[in-house]
Chains A and B, each alone.
Chain A
Amino acid sequence: MSSSRPATIAVASGKGGTGKTTVAAHLALASSRSAKTLLVDLDVEAPDALGYFPSAARVGPPKEVMIAVPQLLKDRCTGCGLCAKSCRFGAILSIGGVVTIDERICKGCGSCVAACPAAALAEAEIFVGVVSVFENGDLRLLEGRTAIGDIRATAVVEAAKRRARELDCEVLIRDCPPGVACPATHAIEGSDYVILVAEPTDFSLHDLGAAVVLVQGQSIPVGVVVNKDGFGKANVAGFCARHGLPIVGRIAFLRSRAESGADARLWEDDAEIMGEMEMILERALNEVRKRMEA
């Protein structure tokens, strides 16, 4: 595989807590045994992948993610209100010629600055999150993390994706956020293959259906991993058959796995799980190869 363009596998789910991070961490571990691998945590509101690698060491300082927000230059403002009119996020109010800017909901698009005829808006950078790189033996990890209280998760996801492109690797595993709204959309965008992790519950199947729509809307091939197999009675296989989705792996529910999993301990000595991970990886990489050749 070319070193300039890694095979990018995104792990997503729809429902939270089905085991995305568990699967992503183990896939990355399995992959790092034979290929240069980068695990990227894009669940920037609740990043947990690093928790599986407690001895990972930080590489370089964390990089701040900044966005440019408008600052009003009062002496230049004529109160025309064009800035407020240009803002589609409701971040600027212009009432009776008095302009107020709410930088907490500003996306930093620059529309208001372009719209102002009096050059009365300057821009200042504000902090929305951090991107950090770590190393754990042969595996490299990259984590995006939003500042608490900030709503601009997608800016941090995109900053993490950009930083990942600067790092050399053959296989890139993305741990995505739950849901099917903008953070998940951004996290999946640009990947070559998506693994959807499902558990045998009605909640999971409902949300899996939405995730499938999201991924297929981006024309990315998809495979399902059944986690906590045997924990509930919902029929994941039936659901996948009806939707034409391949099941590419299974992790059986065992109380012992739930116990050690609670502590984010890697099951690296569990031959059954590591064997399953290698099979999932092989299948995913085959699909990626086919797609790149097409």
Chain B
Amino acid sequence: MITICVASGKGGAGKTSIAAALAAMARPTCVFADCDVDAANGAIALGAATTAREPYFAGPGFMINSEICTGCGLCEASCRFAAIRSEGDPPRFMIVSELCERCGACYERCPIKAVVTYEKTAGELFVSTTRLGIAIVHAELVPGEDTSGKLVRKVRERAQAIAGEHATIIVDAPPGIGCPVIASISGCDLIIVVVEASASGIRDAERLAKLIVSMGRRTIAIINKAGLNPDMDARARDMLKAMGIPLAGEMPFHPSLRSAEESGETWMTVDSVARHSVASALRAIQGLIDSIGDGSRVAAIEEEKP
């Protein structure tokens, strides 16, 4: 089993489109794990039909029972996240759920158990089949819920359970470099960094690259939306060179790629001048995947033969 993660730092750099094209290339022995659990678009890109779903519970939330709260204020004093506020005189305390980190400090501190827990569904996990014939594991986090990193791990675990021994798992990471991105990258055999050829795209990809280097993961890059601004293309190449990350290829900014998606195609089968660049970048990545996969192990053993 080989796990490949597509990440970018910046949002909208082309992660999902590139991950979908890779899946189209790697099928049939491939499982797609959409780890952008709060903005999941893999199922749209691959045309998914859900076959199984299960609820996701993140752990308890906290609220204050105003019927029994005496207004002592110990909860507010115990909260380090300024998530407890009071109104009126005598004060009535309440938890601002948007700011609550669910640490339970107020719950432990309240002398009369006026802070109570509640369970609620924090999201849903899906297994679906796609137009490509491969399976996709995806999830929808309930907007405003936290613990997206934990849901990412669940998506990856489910993808591993489905994937066979010789399968490739393609992980579509969320934007940013935080908790769900680290959960997406951890343990992957190869990280594909998508660098959008823009000032923001290069800066964010560089922060991501530093994270990946600190995690000791093997990395290769694709420059996306190339050709819009030659200065940016050059700066993207320079950044990758300075970071010591090899470049698989450059995908052009071309309307045909957008149109391909609108007609339910991946970039693998796009019919335009963009095709050559896309195919050549994806072939370079496939070559790398083959070299770290079973192929290289078999080749190494073959070489040992007298």
Contacts and interface: CB of A to CB of B under 8 A. Distances in A.
A86 B108 CA distance: 9
Contacts of B177: 45-46, 146, 148-149
B16 to A, nearest CB: 7
B176 interface: yes
B141 A180 contact: yes
A15 interface: yes
B38 A262 contact: no
Contacts of B109: 114
B253 A258 contact: yes
Contact of A146 (B16, B80, B178): B178
Nearest to B176: A45
Nearest to A107: B101
B269 interface: no
Contacts of A263: 198-199, 229, 231-232
A51 B10 CA distance: 13
Q: How large is the interface on B (under 10, 10 to 19, 20 to 34, 35 or more residues)?
A: 35 or more
Contact of A109 (B80, B145, B148): B80
Contact of A180 (B39, B149, B197, B200): B39
B225 A262 contact: yes
Contacts of A185: 98, 144, 146
A203 B148 CA distance: 19
B175 A46 contact: yes
Given A51-B203, A110-B80, A181 B141 contact: yes
Identify which of A14, A16, A153, A210 gathers the most chain B CB atoms within 10 Å of its CB: A16
Interface string B1-37: 0000000011111001000000000000000000011
Identify which of B13, B44, B59 gathers the most chain A CB atoms within 10 Å of its CB: B44
Contacts of A150: 178
Interface in B154-196: 174-182, 196
A263 B41 CA distance: 27
B228 interface: yes
A181 B142 CA distance: 8
5 contacts: A153-B176, A179-B148, A185-B98, A262-B228, A263-B231
